[in-house]
Amino acid sequence: MKEFTREDLLEKARQAQASSVRLRRYREEDRQRAILAIRDILLSQRAAILEANDKDIQAARRNELSEAMIDRLTLTTERLQGLADALSTIASSPPILGQIEDAHTRDDGLIVQRKRIPIGVIGVIFESRPNVLIDCAALAIKSGNAILLKGGSDAEHSNAILGTLVQEAIAPFLPRGSVQVIPGGDRQLTMDMVKLVGLIDLIIPRGGEGLIRMIQEHAKIPVIAHAKGLCHLYLHADADFNKARAIALNAKVQRPSVCNAIETLLVHEQHASGFLLDLLKALTDAGVRLRVDDSIWSLGPQEGWERAQAEDWDTEYLDKILAVRLVSSEDEAIDHILQHGSHHTEAIISNDPSVLQKFEESLDASCLAINASTRFNDGGELGLGAEIGISTTKLHAYGPMGARELTTTRFVVQGAGHCR
């Protein structure tokens, strides 16, 4: 395979930039057809996609990646169907471009409007999960943006076939250069990509803490970070056992390798003499290894327990590992989250309105889950169809970024010969 060079990167970026200018003139129907064509080709070519994905999985096993990382890398028939369903949702969602967000008419008759427009060219740098390529391509199309996608070397075969299929699918409806895939594995290309001022308008990194930090430190282009998901679940004194058990298991076990899974469980000390041990047993029976604080350890160490160390409260495990701590009040739980949280997702189980209000008013996270699992902080679950990332940056979006969050607004002023 020919080596991909900086000149190749520049050429793809130029094609994307040229495509972004042309995309402004395309209709919503063209964007819908392009997204549905991606859906159809995903389903018709699923055997070839899974074959390519299997090559990445076998390489990951040879490289002794963790099962959690392999899970993030894996595509299945069910996951491809989930992607197809998300594409249908994105295509059928209401138009975004050209929406008038605000309008008023001045006393002199001048009409002032704010209309929604694309950002331009989006650069997404991601690790492991090849489904990200499809989600991001579809959201960029829906929002009228061109996009450059650079995945990691661990998903090389999956990303290559998906990128080829996406370009093939959209070609009858949109400029082929609207979606560009950059091969992974070359860190220097990443450094070059985040400095392409004038060709790329926004960088969105999705990956580990190291990748995010590196891009934030070197980028010359605005960055919206999808930082680590150090998510907490707090069980207040009035938490119900059945509710706590169901939510804790779902938030940790259903898919532990994703960013909206919990990494720390905070439990009111009142439950130490109540359902705590039963809850922890349910977690260990589900294969979760527990890192418990000294107060819980003193209850008598159980199988599957380890003593928590200071770094456990700041670790995103992305695996079936959970740090557990007893707290004396909601205030202590809130203080812990403020110290160790990552502004991603925080959850509470309680029926006390004053406690719930304090939790909501005290914490700064992109999503708060009240008597619900953290796993709902997801573009699909929140009605966006999919997400290009979960922003923890706040500017210009906070939480899951769908197609709307990939647009901005500008003023359109309509007069009848008005002069200032």
Residues 208 and 297 in one domain: no
| Mean pLDDT rounded to a whole number for the chain | 95
Give the H or E element holding residue 105: strand 100-105
Residues 238-250, mean pLDDT to the nearest whole number: 97
Residues 146, 222, 232, 357: is their CA dihedral positive or negative?
Answer: negative
Residue 166 near residue 146 (C-beta atoms within 8 A): no
Supply the Cα-derived Rg of the chain in whole angstroms: 23
Query: Among the listed ranges 69-73, 91-95, 184-188, 230-234, which one has the minimum average pLDDT value?
Result: 184-188
Q: What is the rounded distance in angstroms from the CA atom of residue 396 to the CA atom of residue 389?
A: 13
The CATH number given to whatever domain includes residue 16 is 3.40.605.10
Residues 193 and 240 in one domain: no
Task: Dump pLDDT digits (tens) for 146-169.
Answer: 999 999 999 999 999 999 999 999
Q: What is the rounded distance in angstroms from the CA atom of residue 142 to the CA atom of residue 137?
A: 9
Question: Three-state SS for 285?
Answer: helix
Tell whether 384 is covered by a domain: no
Residue 22 predicted with pLDDT over 80? yes
Question: Residue 315 has which token pair?
Answer: 């670790």
Residues 282 and 317 in one domain: yes
Tell whether 420 is covered by a domain: no
As a whole-number percent, the residues of the chain with pLDDT over 70 amount to 100
Helices (H) and strands (E) in the chain, counts: 14, 16
The CATH number given to whatever domain includes residue 339 is 3.40.309.10
Phi-psi region of 60 (alpha: psi -120 to 50; beta: other; left: phi over 0): alpha
Range of the domain at 238: 231-376
Residues 22 and 44 in one domain: yes
Question: Three-state SS for 18?
Answer: helix
Task: Dump pLDDT digits (tens) for 167-204.
Answer: 999 999 999 999 999 998 788 999 999 999 999 999 99
**What is the DSSP-derived secondary structure letter of residue 400?**
E
Residue 32 predicted with pLDDT over 90? yes
Residues 141 and 248 in one domain: no
The 10 Å Cβ neighbour count of residue 419 is 4
Give me the residues paired with residue 411 across strands. Answer: 114
Residue 230 near residue 340 (C-beta atoms within 8 A): yes
Residue 292 near residue 305 (C-beta atoms within 8 A): yes
Task: Dump pLDDT digits (tens) for 305-363.
Answer: 999 999 999 999 989 999 999 999 999 999 999 999 999 999 999 999 999 999 999 99
Tell whether 204 is covered by a domain: yes
Q: What pLDDT is recorded for position 369?
A: 98
Of residues 231, 186, 187, the one with CA closest to residue 345: 231
- Model confidence at 226, pLDDT cuts 50, 70, 90, reads confident
pTM over 0.85: yes
Residues 79 and 202 in one domain: yes
Give me the residues paired with residue 125 across strands. Answer: 150, 205
Residues 195 and 155 in one domain: yes
Tell whether 255 is covered by a domain: yes
Q: What pLDDT is recorded for position 190?
A: 94
What is the total count of domains within the chain?
A: 2
Residues 152 and 170 in one domain: yes
- Model confidence at 218, pLDDT cuts 50, 70, 90, reads very high
Residues 300 and 151 in one domain: no
Tell whether 385 is covered by a domain: no
Residues 129 and 19 in one domain: yes
Task: Dump pLDDT digits (tens) for 75-93.
Answer: 999 999 999 999 999 999 9
Tell whether 386 is covered by a domain: no
Residues 162 and 246 in one domain: no
Tell whether 388 is covered by a domain: no
Residue carrying the six token digits 């930090």: 213
Q: What pLDDT is recorded for position 228?
A: 83
Q: What pLDDT is recorded for position 1?
A: 58
As a whole-number percent, the residues of the chain with pLDDT over 90 amount to 87
Residues 273-284, mean pLDDT to the nearest whole number: 96
Using a 10 angstrom Cβ sphere, with 0-12 exposed, 13-18 middle and 19 or more buried, the burial of residue 10 is middle
Q: What is the rounded distance in angstroms from the CA atom of residue 348 to the CA atom of residue 346?
A: 7
Question: Residue 330 has which token pair?
Answer: 């909601």
Residue carrying the six token digits 């520049």: 10
Q: Note every long-range contact of 163-168, with CB atoms under 8 Å and residues 24 or more positions apart, other chains counting.
A: 163/133, 165/38, 165/41, 165/42, 165/45, 165/49, 166/38, 166/41, 166/133, 166/134, 166/137, 168/41
Tell whether 396 is covered by a domain: no
Question: Residue 179 has which token pair?
Answer: 């979606």
Of residues 38, 41, 111, 29, the one with CA closest to residue 385: 38
| Alpha-helical runs (H) found in 220-328 | 241-253, 276-285, 294-297
Residues 29-44, mean pLDDT to the nearest whole number: 98
Task: Dump pLDDT digits (tens) for 106-131.
Answer: 999 999 999 999 999 999 999 888 99
Residues 239 and 361 in one domain: yes
